[in-house]
A = this chain, B = another copy of it.
């Protein structure tokens, strides 16, 4: 049904025709998810990217940056809960947390479940994302209402580089895909800075890519992290219907050896938030201890490529045999 192709620099509106938004990208050629648009709520162009918000027919409100769906109200729970609780449930009593990106506030909302946290720094590149989230996504942006949150607008790479060594118990990299302004967030120097900024028992979790879509990009990302964190690197994934291929990858790293398969925080403890705002009263929708463990289980085509023992050899994925 697609009658035009996305071209570089095209305006968001060119992607909406006859009431449907289609997500076309050179990162996933030949496929596109389309969502029916009830109403366009916001369209802007920041210093860094095109910003679009629409009310969809079946996924609630949707945030789009540079033509790529960042979140929908219907399925954001999976991404926000997993990128937060996979690392945070792997350690005890976190006190200081840094979020790089994450301007929608969803990760901040999930961090409000940990009563031990006394400081959250968030460094988001694009103020427009924060402003738009506060206006159109109160169910996520309520995360900014937590009094321990300090918002820094600026370059995440510089922020991490300038952080005092050994500051954070957890650093969460909630960025966009590696083909835009976030490219540096997928490279070795950035992760070296992250490792320096972490406490000795600190953990990191970063957005990666879908193993279904591009296992080679995932492998490169994991290898970059292994150069910095050694053996304490695990790849996890979660389902997100509005992301290309329906899943997204996450890379988990720790400075000291941590058994990521054994969460130390119980589901019951996580279910309660201590803050007053209505949005903090929500129960977990996606994460539980069983999903934590299963997020680390990989299908054979990904396991053979990403498992450390195979990764130094030139172990071929079964997917190399034709499709």
Contacts and interface: CB of A to CB of B under 8 A. Distances in A.
B284 A2 contact: no
Most buried by B among A212, A246, A321: A246
Q: How many copies altogether?
A: 2
A139 B323 CA distance: 10
A127 to B, nearest CB: 26
Interface stretch (A41-49, A142-150, A171-179, A290-298): A290-298
* Count class of interface residues, chain A: 35 or more
Interface stretch (A29-37, A101-109, A223-231, A250-258): A29-37
Contact of A29 (B36, B241, B284, B293): B36
A20 interface: yes
Nearest to A279: B322
Contacts of A74: 323
Contacts of A28: 58
A301 B285 CA distance: 5
A77 interface: yes
A288 to B, nearest CB: 5
A299 interface: yes
A285 B212 CA distance: 11
B282 A318 contact: yes
A240 B286 CA distance: 19
A299 B303 contact: no
A73 B246 CA distance: 17
Contacts of A290: 297-298, 303
Interface in A293-323: 293-294, 297-301, 303, 318-319, 321-323
Contacts of A266: none
A243 to B, nearest CB: 8
Given A1-B17, A212-B241, A297 B303 contact: no
A75 B212 contact: yes
A13 B78 CA distance: 36
Interface string A67-95: 00000111101100000000000000000
A2 B34 contact: yes
Interface in A162-212: 212
A321 B278 CA distance: 12
A39 B303 CA distance: 33
Nearest to A6: B1
Contacts of A294: 293-294, 297
A59 interface: yes
Interface of A: 1-4, 15, 17-20, 22, 24, 28-36, 56-60, 72-75, 77-78, 139, 212-213, 239-241, 243-247, 267, 282-288, 290-291, 293-294, 297-301, 303, 318-319, 321-323
Given A30-B57, A60-B323, 20 more contacts: A1-B2, A1-B15, A1-B20, A3-B17, A29-B36, A30-B58, A31-B36, A32-B34, A60-B322, A77-B301, A78-B299, A212-B241, A267-B300, A282-B318, A284-B318, A285-B319, A286-B299, A290-B298, A290-B303, A294-B297
Kindly list the 5 A-B residue pairs having the minimum CB-CB distance in the complex, ordered from nearest. A246-B246, A30-B58, A294-B294, A30-B57, A1-B2
